[in-house]
Amino acid sequence: MGPGELIAVRHGESVANVLFERGRRDGIAVVLTGGGDADVPLSEAGRAQAARTGRRLAGREPPDAGVVSPYRRARETWDAIAGQVAALPPPRVDARLRDRDMGELYGLNETALRERAPAEAARLAEWDHRPPGGESLADVAARVREALGELTGARRVLLVAHDAVIVALRHVLSAGGERPGARPWPVPNASVSRWVREDGRLRLAAFGEVP
């Protein structure tokens, strides 16, 4: 049987999030350069956000198991939470919880996408649409479903990953395969989403809550 409670935290604000938000605010194209998605770190504000989330979680019964995306921003978020939560167990790193692979579109903000690939920009939120060389949200959900199947033997599990992963969790754990539609469910940085087991399955108790 799976856990009695699943707590999913999105990573804190990353340096890429900062650049993308600045581009959105100013209406300019942003293209990330250097390194890859797996190496993007938290911003200073993101580390503070993660610590606040840790303090919030510290007021509850501690998780007895943890799992984290291998990406740097997720691991740094875990470390910041662990600095606030006593007796948090070492996490298991699971590559299936990595962020959505955007393929040829990686590193482009919304303005850059509209300028360089307007057809792709219009379809990016579609559940089954796979950008060139990348993944659809359905692809992410398939690997998240597989990872969930291995979360056994623990009462409370803390999972730290990405917005696409947490959207996929909501889809996989909903009774009817709920989908976000044209406007994806918002998953703020360092937000907490929770599922609690009732009547034999995990049911959504909170989604995208920010401390």
Cα–Cα distance measured from residue 74 to residue 89, given in angstroms and rounded to the nearest whole number: 16
pLDDT tens digits for range 132-178: 999 999 999 999 999 999 998 899 999 999 999 999 999 999 976 67
Residue 111's CB is within 10 A of a number of other CB atoms, namely 18
Does the annotation place 31 within a ligand binding site? no
3-state secondary structure the chain: CCCCEEEEEECCCEHHHHHHHHHHHHCCCCECCCCCHHHCCECHHHHHHHHHHHHHHHCCCCCCEEEECCCHHHHHHHHHHHCCCCCCCCCEECHHHCCCCCHHHCCECHHHHHHHCHHHHHHCCCCCCCCCCCCCHHHHHHHHHHHHCCCCCCCEEEEEECHHHHHHHHHHHCCCCCCCCCCCCCCCCCCEEEEEEECCEEEEEEEEECC
pLDDT tens digits for range 51-83: 999 999 998 989 999 999 999 999 999 999 999
Does the annotation place 10 within a ligand binding site? yes
Does the annotation place 11 within a ligand binding site? yes
Does the annotation place 164 within a ligand binding site? no
Q: What is the pTM of this model?
A: 0.95
Q: What pLDDT is attached to residue 185?
A: 78
Does the annotation place 96 within a ligand binding site? no
Domains contained in the chain, CATH given: 5-13+44-103+134-209 (3.40.50.1240)
Does the annotation place 12 within a ligand binding site? yes
Does the annotation place 40 within a ligand binding site? no
pLDDT tens digits for range 25-49: 999 999 998 788 999 999 999 999 9
